Amino acid sequence: MKTWQVYKGDDEKAAKLSEELTVSKAFASILLERGVTSKEAAEVFLFPEENQPFHDPLLMQDMGKGTVRILQALAKKEKITVYGDYDVDGITATALLTKTLKALGASVDFYIPDRQKEGYGLNVEALKKLHENGTKLVVTVDCGIAGIDEVAAFNGIMDIIITDHHIPPATLPNAAAVINPHREDCKYPDKNLSGVGVAFKLCQSLYKMSKGKNFADDLEFVALGTIADIVPLVGENRKLVKLGLEAIQNSDKPGIQALIEVSALSGREIGPGQVGFGLAPRLNAAGRIGHAKDGVALLLSEDKKEAERIAEDLNDSNMERQEIEREILAEATSKLAKMDMSNKHSIVLTGENWHPGVIGIVASRLVDLYYLPTIIISCQGDIGKGSCRSIRALHMHDALSANESHLLGYGGHSQAAGLTIKTDEIDAFAASFDDYVAKTLKPADYIPTVEISAIMGPDEINEDFINELKLLEPYGMGNPKPVFGVRNISGKKPRVMGRDNQHLAFMLGKNSDRTALCWNNAKYVDIVARERLDLVYTAQMSEWQGENSIELVAQSIEPAEVERVHLNREALIKIYFFLKKYKDVSHIPSDSILLSNQYARSEKKHLSLFSMKEALKIFEEMGLLEYGAEKKYYMLKEPKTKLDLMSSKTYRAYNG
């Protein structure tokens, strides 16, 4: 159950902004929630393609120095190698800078390390091979900021320019230039750029200094990498993505067209969702399952047949990635089911030869399931490579920094990072990391929250308001799709839908004219039929056979306050004896929805889903219920002594 954090707006300011912009007061309040407080700021935010100028790239520390060195290489016809990273941000940055340098007449090639064999970032062996093959200048994209030793090894031998957006270490590499907006001495006004965003600024600088003109080419690449890297879609990123999505939609690049085709998105509107769940995973599969150079080759391809072949290969790799992900996730959840998680503040899991290209996705899935900072480590020999994902309240990079004595290396952001560790250090690291999390976070930080823009009933959502909401697009981190909440509402005419009857639809509103959809939650159909609800949802227009209608897409469904039965001794005894009626009390299903439905049929009395969940929790805390295999079943225990309900912290919360 998530805690609602409802935006407390300023009615007077909302009314003023509403009048200035000629929009609804509700929409004006959403702008205020996003820090947009004036008409001028709203015009920049809503129409960045027209009103958000690109910042001068030379404001970025070392940008001038790096640009001059590259132009010298062009003049001397020195071989340049673009050294990238194997995720979508790195792949798109590599393609962008390689293509730009070629257009400027450079002798240029690119290099991306193999994820499994070489790992992230600069490595000496790769740099040595590049030098032997004639490279005089290496320009990194989306990596290199932590490569102090690697850069030092080639000082006086080969120049290296670093362009990156990851958090810098206290000491920077002694490179020909270090271009990173997160440098403490960097005065560049927008710190939120992705790796491909920083590469784009370098391209702008190259064109400005060499040709005296603006550069805004290949924005398809910039939008792909920016969206995939989940950086805030505000400021310059918002303009880049808005223009880039339009470029993707109308792209004549064979690689982009083939990627759209293989993602089954031809003829459809391409937004951040289509990039994040369609285009990007297939491009990412190049670095996760195969080699990221295939992703760069796709983006740079000028041949339709070649692009289609590469795109099909990436699609196959993505399907393979999904299967590997399912296997590792099943193994990881099985391990967790056998562990006592009651005193855990974090998850650190290891597996022998878990695919390092997939463990980051598995870590994200476990954060969704457990809402704990999670680190998944793939062990190969005496070295482990880990992917880290955090919850909102914990800065993952800071947490790794506090425990760096256990690590061989680490890097990343506040919510996602990577690490390398000796396997014999993992247990000590896990204990130290968990201790850091426990001391850093408050109890409330472990409760997932949902930020709600406004409490609005279904009848308050009309077509004009939804058209206003479209002005906020593209959505993403820092500019999420507005979420609304309504309490104590009745759903009508619930039905299951979809090819496998896995989805749920029901009607809302005074005239039952608003369709609510809840994806992959058909199991709630009986709950909606009999319980009043607290609903969290987003709103959109839907078209079916030429007819437009308003749809509310449910983010969560919970029983309303009136459905939350007071769990006193008498109520708990009734639920306990209901459980005792099971033919096999060692195989009681742990699905609280199923048990709630069965209770209603067996006892001829309604018991809300919430109340069933809380009762089961109380029984667990009292030792009356224990989980069986993989938490799919409960085992009911007979009490050996007189029970003390006050031994349950959940019961005390209701009756203390």
Instruction: For residue range 27-80, list pLDDT tens digits in order.
Output: 999 999 999 999 999 999 999 999 889 999 999 999 999 999 999 999 999 999
Q: What is the mean pLDDT of residues 566-577?
A: 83
What pLDDT score does 13 carry?
A: 96
Tens of pLDDT, residues 351-381: 998 988 889 999 999 998 889 999 999 998 9
pLDDT of amino acid 246: 96
Q: Is the pLDDT of residue 546 over 80?
A: no
Alpha helices for 441-560 (secondary structure H): 463-469, 525-530
Kindly tell me the burial class for residue 303, based on how many C-beta atoms sit within 10 Å of its own C-beta (0-12, 13-18, 19 or more).
Answer: exposed
What are the b/e assignments for 69-89, b being 16+ CB within 10 Å?
bbbebbeeebbbbbbbbbbbb
Beta strands in 308-346 (DSSP E): none
- CATH code for the part of the protein at 57-233: 3.90.1640.30
User: How is residue 474 annotated by DSSP?
Assistant: S
- The strand pairing partners of 517, in sequence order, are 505, 553
State residue 89's pLDDT score: 96
Prior bond of 474 cis (ω within 30°): yes
Statement: residue 551 has pLDDT above 90:
yes
Query: Hey, what CATH class is 339-446 in?
Result: alpha beta
Residues 415, 367: Cα–Cα separation, whole Å: 11
Question: What pLDDT does 276 receive?
Answer: 92
pLDDT > 90 fraction of the chain, expressed in percent and rounded: 67
Which ranges in the chain are annotated with CATH 2.40.50.460?
Answer: 451-561
Q: Looking at the domain that runs over 564-655, which CATH code has it been given?
A: 1.10.10
Name residue 556's amino acid: S
**CA of residue 619 relative to chain centroid, distance:** 35
DSSP state of 279: I
Q: Read off the pLDDT band of 245 (50, 70, 90).
A: very high
Q: Tell me what the mean pLDDT of segment 588-606 comes to.
A: 83
Kindly report the backbone phi and psi dihedral angles of residue 597, in degrees, each rounded to the nearest multiple of 5, phi listed first: -65, -45
Q: With bands split at pLDDT 50, 70 and 90, how would you rate the model's confidence at 563?
A: low
pLDDT at position 217 over 70: yes
The one-letter amino acid at 558 = E
Q: Which amino acid does the sequence have at 510? A: K
Instruction: Give the pLDDT confidence score for residue 102 in this predicted structure.
Output: 97
What is the chain's mean pLDDT, rounded? 91
β-strands 409-412, 449-452 pairing: unpaired
pLDDT (mean) for 598-623: 83
Looking at residue 1, its pLDDT comes to 65
DSSP string, 385-408: EEEEE--TT--HHHHHHHTGGG-S
pLDDT tops 80 at residue 175: yes
Per residue in 474-510, pLDDT tens?
999 899 999 999 998 989 999 999 888 999 999 998 8
Q: pLDDT tier at 313 (50, 70, 90 boundaries)?
A: very high
Residues of the chain with CATH 3.90.1640.30: 57-233
pLDDT for position 545: 74
CA gap 645, 640 in Å, rounded: 14
Average pLDDT over residues 220-232: 95
Give which of 648, 469, 447 is closest to 30, Cα–Cα: 469
Amino acid at 547: E
- Could you tell me the pLDDT band of residue 587, with boundaries at 50, 70 and 90? confident
Q: Report H helices in 158-234.
A: 195-211, 219-228
Asked whether the beta carbons of 396 and 425 are under 8 A apart, the reply is: no
What is the location of CATH 1.10.10 in the chain?
564-655
Q: Looking at the predicted structure, is the pLDDT value of residue 566 above 70? A: no
pLDDT at 45: 95
CATH 3.10.310.30 intervals, the chain: 339-446
| 3-class secondary structure, 341 | coil
Predicted pLDDT of residue 654:
65
Task: Look at domain 451-561 and name its CATH class.
Answer: mainly beta
Strands (E), 118-171: 135-140, 159-163
When pLDDT is cut at 50, 70 and 90, the band that residue 348 belongs to is very high
DSSP string, 540-563: EEEEETTEEEEEEEEEEEEE-GGG
